C-alpha cells in the first residue's frame, strides 16, 4: 500500500482523544484546547469527511467534579466517577459542537457488545445510521457497567476496534506524546521518533510498556495494540501530539507529523474481521513451527498434527487464539473441536481422529475459512 501522506481517499476517520488531551494535569477540563480541536473536527466534517470521536475523560472529569486529587484505585469508585463525569463531558461536547452547527450522538460500548455477533452487527448498524444522518458519534466505554470480563480498559483499543467495526480508513490517536520513539523520550534525550512503521516488532512492544500519563489508562503499549489492529484490517493509524497547533488539519493535509502506521494489505473481509478482533478468545491452541508456517505462508487450515498443546476449556464452535511455541499469538479462529477433543488429537494425523474420538466430523481443527492469520 502507498505510504505517501496523500489522504484524498481517506473518508471515514476515527479520532481518539485521550484524557491527557482534554484535561490539564490537575484533571480540570482544558476548554480552550478542546474548543480548538472541535473547530478542526467541524471543519473536516464540513469537507465531507465522516468523523467518529472516541473520547476518554469521564473518570478524570468525574474525579475533578468530586474534588478528588487523583483517580481512586477501586473499580466501583472509578465506575461511579465515570457516571458522574460522562454526563458533564457529553454536555460540553453538545454545547461546543452546537457552535459549529454539529449534532452529536453519545454511544457507550462495552467489550461484550463486540463479543456477540448480533450485538456487534446491531452496534455497527446503529453507528452507520448515525453517520448517515451526518451526525458525529462520540464514543466512550460504558465504564459504569463494564465488569473486568467485558472491559476494554483503555480507549486506544476501543478506538481501533470501533475503526475496524466501521471499516474506517484511518484512526488518529491524539496524545501527549509526539508518537512512537525507539526508547522512552522522558528518560533518554536521544530517543528517535519513528515517522513511519510498516511492521510492529516485539522490541517496540517491550520498550513501550509502562509509558503513559497518570489520569489515562493507556500508554504506548495499548497504542501499539491499536496500531496492530488497524494495520491488520487495512487502515492507517497515526499517533500524534495534541499540543501541536492545528494538529488534525496538519495531519489531514499530509504533513509528516507523529508516527504513521501503514497497512500492507487491502481491507479485510467483514466476517474475518470479527473473528480477528470482535470476540474474546475462549482458549488457546499452541502450534509447532511447521503449522505456524503452513498457516502464515500457505493459507492452510489448522490440522491436529501441528498442535502441541491446548490451554483453557472451550466447546466446539468457540473462538480460540492460536499461539506459536514462543507464546506469540499468530492467528484466531473458530474451532471444530472442543478443548478436550483437541487435546486428545493434538499431534496426531487427521486419519487418526476417528480412532481416537470415535467419530470424525472434520479433518481440520480450524478450517481456513474460519481462520484469521496475523501477517508478519
Ligand atoms: N473510559 C475511560 C474514561 O472515560 C478512559 C479510558 C482511557 O483512558 O483510555 O475515563
User: How high is the pLDDT of residue 141?
Assistant: 93
List the grid coordinates of 95: 454545547
Look at residue 2 and tell me if it is in a domain: no
- At residue 26 the predicted structure's pLDDT band, cuts being 50, 70 and 90, is confident
Give the integer Cα–Cα distance in Å for 261 and 273: 18
Judge whether 88 and 23 are in contact, CB under 8 Å.
no
Could you report the per-residue pLDDT of 157-213, keeping only the tens digit for each?
A: 999 999 999 999 999 999 988 999 888 887 888 889 999 999 988 888 887 776 554
Of 100, 154, 152, 107, nearest to 130 (Cα)? 107
- Choosing from 19, 54, 66 the residue with most ligand 1 atoms within 8 A of its CB, the one to mutate for a pocket test is 19
Residues 311 and 162 in one domain: no
Dist. CA 376 → ligand 1 center (Å): 30
- At residue 251 the predicted structure's pLDDT band, cuts being 50, 70 and 90, is very high
- At residue 339 the predicted structure's pLDDT band, cuts being 50, 70 and 90, is very high
Task: Please report, for the domain that includes residue 170, its CATH number.
Answer: 3.40.1160.10
For residue 303, what are the domain limits?
Answer: 281-373
pLDDT surpasses 70 at 376: no
pLDDT surpasses 70 at 218: no
Ligand 1 close to Cβ of residue 54 (< 6 A): no
Of 226, 52, 217, nearest to 156 (Cα)? 226
Look at residue 137 and tell me if it is in a domain: yes
Judge whether 341 and 284 are in contact, CB under 8 Å.
no
Ligand 1 close to Cβ of residue 55 (< 6 A): no
pLDDT surpasses 90 at 308: yes
Dist. CA 17 → ligand 1 center (Å): 10
Q: Which of 219, 254, 272 is the last residue of a domain?
A: 272
Question: Residues in the chain, how many?
Answer: 376
pLDDT surpasses 90 at 4: no
Give the integer Cα–Cα distance in Å for 176 and 185: 12
Judge whether 261 and 233 are in contact, CB under 8 Å.
no
Residues 243 and 302 in one domain: no
Residues 307 and 176 in one domain: no
Q: Which of 253, 272, 291 is the last residue of a domain?
A: 272
User: How high is the pLDDT of residue 212?
Assistant: 52
Could you report the per-residue pLDDT of 259-305, keeping only the tens digit for each?
A: 999 997 777 777 788 888 887 899 999 999 999 999 988 789 999 99
Of 10, 90, 107, nearest to 50 (Cα)? 10
Q: In what order do the strands lie in the sheet with 236-241?
A: 104-109, 136-141, 50-55, 12-17, 170-175, 236-241, 259-261, 196-197
User: How high is the pLDDT of residue 25?
Assistant: 77
Grid look-up 480507549 returns 155
For residues 15-24, give the mean pLDDT.
91
Dist. CA 58 → ligand 1 center (Å): 6
Residues 204 and 337 in one domain: no
User: How high is the pLDDT of residue 219?
Assistant: 79
Look at residue 1 and tell me if it is in a domain: no
Closest-lying ligand 1 atom to the alpha carbon of residue 86? 4
Judge whether 76 and 15 are in contact, CB under 8 Å.
no
For residues 356-376, give the mean pLDDT.
85
Residues 157 and 265 in one domain: yes
User: How high is the pLDDT of residue 343?
Assistant: 97
DSSP code at position 304: G
Residues 368 and 245 in one domain: no
Torsion from C-alpha of 80, 85, 86, 91, nearest 10 degrees: 150
Dist. CA 158 → ligand 1 center (Å): 10
The helix/strand/coil state of 207 is helix
pLDDT surpasses 50 at 1: no
The helix/strand/coil state of 136 is strand
Q: In what order do the strands lie in the sheet with 284-287?
A: 307-311, 284-287, 319-323, 329-334, 371-373
Ligand 1 close to Cβ of residue 59 (< 6 A): yes
The helix/strand/coil state of 184 is coil
Could you report the per-residue pLDDT of 69-89, keeping only the tens digit for each?
A: 877 888 889 899 999 999 999
Dist. CA 224 → ligand 1 center (Å): 17
Sorted by sequence, the CB contacts under 8 Å of residue 164 that are 6+ apart come out as: 229, 230, 233, 235, 273, 276, 277
> Lowest-confidence range among 22-26, 85-89, 236-240, 320-324?
22-26
Look at residue 73 and tell me if it is in a domain: yes
Strand-pair partners of 241: 175
Look at residue 67 and tell me if it is in a domain: yes
pTM flag (> 0.95): no
Residues 248 and 301 in one domain: no
Residues 257 and 167 in one domain: yes
Question: Atom 5 of ligand 1 has which residue's CA nearest to it?
Answer: 56
Closest-lying ligand 1 atom to the alpha carbon of residue 59? 10
Ligand 1 close to Cβ of residue 140 (< 6 A): yes
Look at residue 209 and tell me if it is in a domain: yes
The helix/strand/coil state of 328 is coil
User: How high is the pLDDT of residue 149?
Assistant: 63
Q: Which of 244, 272, 300 is the last residue of a domain?
A: 272
Residues 286 and 264 in one domain: no
∠284-285-291 over CA atoms, to 5°?
Answer: 145
Question: What mean pLDDT value characterizes the chain?
Answer: 89
Question: Atom 2 of ligand 1 has which residue's CA nearest to it?
Answer: 56
- Choosing from 22, 57, 81, 226 the residue with most ligand 1 atoms within 8 A of its CB, the one to mutate for a pocket test is 57
Query: How many domains are contained in the chain?
Result: 2
Amino acid at each position: 500500500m502507498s505510504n505517501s501522506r496523500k489522504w484524498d481517499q481517506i473518508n471515514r476517520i476515527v479520532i481518539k482523544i485521550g484524557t491527557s488531551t482534554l484535561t490539564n494535569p490537575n484533571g480540570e477540563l482544558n476548554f480552550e484546547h478542546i474548543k480548538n480541536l472541535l473547530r478542526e473536527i467541524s471543519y473536516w466534517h464540513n469537507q465531507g469527511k465522516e468523523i467518529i470521536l472516541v473520547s476518554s475523560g469521564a473518570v478524570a472529569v468525574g474525579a475533578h467534579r468530586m474534588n478528588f486529587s487523583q483517580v481512586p484505585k477501586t473499580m466501583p469508585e472509578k465506575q461511579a466517577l465515570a457516571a458522574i463525569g460522562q454526563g458533564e463531558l457529553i454536555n460540553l461536547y453538545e454545547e461546543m459542537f452546537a457552535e459549529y452547527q454539529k449534532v452529536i450522538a453519545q454511544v457507550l460500548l462495552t467489550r461484550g457488545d463486540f463479543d456477540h455477533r448480533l450485538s456487534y452487527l446491531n452496534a455497527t448498524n446503529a453507528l452507520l445510521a448515525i453517520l448517515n444522518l451526518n451526525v458525529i458519534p462520540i464514543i466512550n466505554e460504558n465504564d459504569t457497567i463494564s465488569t473486568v470480563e467485558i472491559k476494554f480498559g483503555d480507549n486506544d483499543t476501543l478506538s481501533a476496534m470501533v475503526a475496524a467495526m466501521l471499516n474506517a480508513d484511518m484512526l488518529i490517536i491524539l496524545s501527549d506524546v509526539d508518537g512512537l520513539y525507539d526508547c522512552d523520550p522522558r528518560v533518554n534525550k536521544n530517543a528517535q521518533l519513528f515517522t513511519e512503521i510498516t511492521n510492529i516488532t516485539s522490541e517496540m512492544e517491550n520498550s513501550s510498556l509502562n509509558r503513559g500519563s497518570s489520569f489515562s489508562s493507556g500508554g504506548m503499549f495499548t497504542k501499539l495494540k491499536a496500531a496492530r489492529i488497524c494495520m491488520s484490517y487495512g487502515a492507517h493509524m497515526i499517533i500524534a501530539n495534541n499540543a501541536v497547533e492545528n494538529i488534525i488539519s496538519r495531519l489531514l493535509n499530509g504533513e509528516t507529523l507523529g508516527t504513521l502506521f501503514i497497512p500492507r494489505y487491502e481491507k479485510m473481509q467483514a466476517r474475518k474481521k470479527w473473528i480477528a478482533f470482535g470476540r474474546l478468545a475462549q482458549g488457546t491452541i499452541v502450534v509447532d513451527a511447521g503449522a505456524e508456517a503452513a498457516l502464515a505462508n500457505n493459507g492452510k487450515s489448522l490440522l491436529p498434527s501441528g498442535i502441541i498443546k491446548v490451554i483453557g476449556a472451550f466447546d466446539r464452535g468457540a473462538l480460540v487464539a492460536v499461539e506459536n511455541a514462543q507464546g506469540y499469538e499468530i492467528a484466531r479462529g473458530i474451532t471444530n473441536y472442543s478443548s478436550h477433543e483437541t487435546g486428545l488429537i493434538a499431534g496426531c494425523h487427521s486419519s487418526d481422529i476417528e480412532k481416537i474420538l470415535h467419530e470424525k466430523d472434520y479433518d481440520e481443527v480450524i478450517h481456513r475459512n474460519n481462520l484469521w492469520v496475523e501477517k508478519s
